[in-house]
Amino acid sequence: MKKVILSMLCLSMINAGLMAQKKKKETKSEGIQMMSSIDSFSYAAGITIANQLKSQGISQLNLPLMMIGMSDVLANNKTLMTPEQAGMTLQQKLQEYNQKKTEALKSKGVEFLETCKKRSGVIALPNGLQYEVLTAGDPNGMRPTKEDTVVVHYVGTLIDGTEFDNSVKRGEPAQFPLGGVIKGWTEILQLMTVGSKWKVYIPSELGYGERGAGASIPPFSTLIFEIDLKEIKPAIKK
């Protein structure tokens, strides 16, 4: 797989370098026609690799130096770095980019929660959770325990508004043991009664933390949920 990616990188960057020299004043893709499968492969490789680099936080490269490095390898010239040194350099730089990205996400989450808790109607708990009541249930009603199963409708978003899950759109409420979900859910739902609908703000350490959750929830994400508690199914005592 690494060899394939490197080959794609070489093709796309060589193509990009040649086109940049010919079309300096034009939009990158303006006037370009793909006449062969190699042309289309090269352009597709460029898009794919650029998106991968952007996802790692890399937006600036010294293209001429990259071209020299590739040319030296392809021409079997002596390189300024050994393959091991090059690999280590790339790894260190990617770690730096990832660290900056992580710190930015953490900072945005902290800033968001600090601003959020100052809003009227938002209640901040000592553990970092925040919530506001959208619909009040019976204050004397039953509250679930960690051992119980809950039935809920919910909508989950990131702080930028990106929606990553929505049981309402699926047309069926979710059902799960309360002790088997993220800590923020386990703790906040124990405060809710049936019929309650709350908007809940969950700091990353009570969510998915440094691991995130798939492609939809980046590491260290602060999460927002609208949770509507429909039913509590008490645990069967043995």
Name the residues annotated as catalytic.
154, 164-165, 182, 208, 225
Cα torsion angle, 134, 137, 139, 143, sign: negative
Residue 41, H or E segment: helix 37-55
| 195-207 burial code (b ≥16 CB/10 A, e <16) | ebbbbbbbbbbbb
Q: What residue has token string 């999460």? A: 223
Which helix (H) or strand (E) covers residue 185, if one does?
A: helix 183-189
Q: Can you state the percent helix, strand and coil of the chain, rounding each to 5? A: 45, 20, 35
Residue 61: other Cβ atoms inside 10 A: 11
Q: What phi and psi, each to the nearest 5 degrees, are found at residue 112?
A: -60, -50
Name the one residue in this structure whose structure tokens are 């004043």. Answer: 25
CA angle 230, 235, 238 (to 5 degrees): 165
Distance separating alpha carbons of residues 107 and 5, to the nearest angstrom = 33
In Å, how far from its chain's centre is CA 168?
Answer: 22
